[in-house]
Structure 1
């Protein structure tokens, strides 16, 4: 049984805890959807000042990202590769940290409250699988520590799940 944790609000303390909790939840569980669902829940409860945390999965035949497990308000279901923050990060296969989404060309506003966003690609064997997407109602919410740890969480998901 998972015991809820009171997170401190300090990323330097909370990210290592989130990473270890996700690793424990994934132990012996190869199902990618189940692992993403638990990751979304952990990020939602563990990160301060966010309003959406979840995943989009790459659908190669349509060249789109399709909504996966998440926490927050209902979201856009399909995002063309190259469009918006998620589509851009996926197309370029690199993390996008956007301090002000309203200044980002082509931003897709699924939740009008979102002010900043971080998107981390999920890569497996050199192929795009999807992205981790986290939004915040605060401008300039995401920094290098968020990028570092979310990229580690992405690696953990790719290593520990059957893709």
Structure 2
């Protein structure tokens, strides 16, 4: 991913006059608009002390999956594993929660604050197998920058 996108992420997150949610919403919208294979972009966060994730800001079609138990689906697995999860073909995953029939692939990257997994960025794509190591590194960068404002 190019440095222009990185600087856009930093510029959005640096707007201290805006709420954290507003800035995260703008990051989601920018990523969805700028990266052709990012069809749904959202953040999930741990729901207090509960063993579940709660949907935060996102850009894309509305989803019914506003609460995801730890261990369920790709997002729930990342909440437990603390590791990136790239799914080239969602139809090949047993533990996949379908948000839309158009989704072909998904990438989820955990978000750490002070070494603790507090959430994740989740990207759905309607393109089969679009995610590369560059996507992973870029989303790790996004989450590192996001962690600075949380």
**Is TM-score (shorter-chain normalized) higher than 0.5?**
yes
In the TM superposition, structure 1's runs of 4+ consecutive aligned residues that sit over 6 Å from their partners are none
Q: Scaled by the length of structure 1, what TM-score is found?
A: 0.85
User: Would you say 1:49 and 2:37 are equivalent positions?
Assistant: yes
Unpaired runs of 5+ residues, structure 2, are none
User: Would you say 1:24 and 2:11 are equivalent positions?
Assistant: yes
Structure 2: how far apart are the matches of 1:132 and 1:115? 17
Deviation for aligned residue 1:42: 1.1
Count of aligned pairs between the two proteins: 148
Superposed CA deviations along residues 107-151 of structure 1, whole A, max 9, x for unmatched, are 000111111000011110121211100000111110100001110
Deviation for aligned residue 1:62: 2.4
Structure 2: how far apart are the matches of 1:17 and 1:117? 24
Q: What RMSD in Å do the two structures reach over aligned CA positions?
A: 1.4
Partner of 2:73: 84
Deviation for aligned residue 1:101: 0.9
Deviation for aligned residue 1:39: 1.1
Unpaired runs of 5+ residues, structure 1, are 1-11
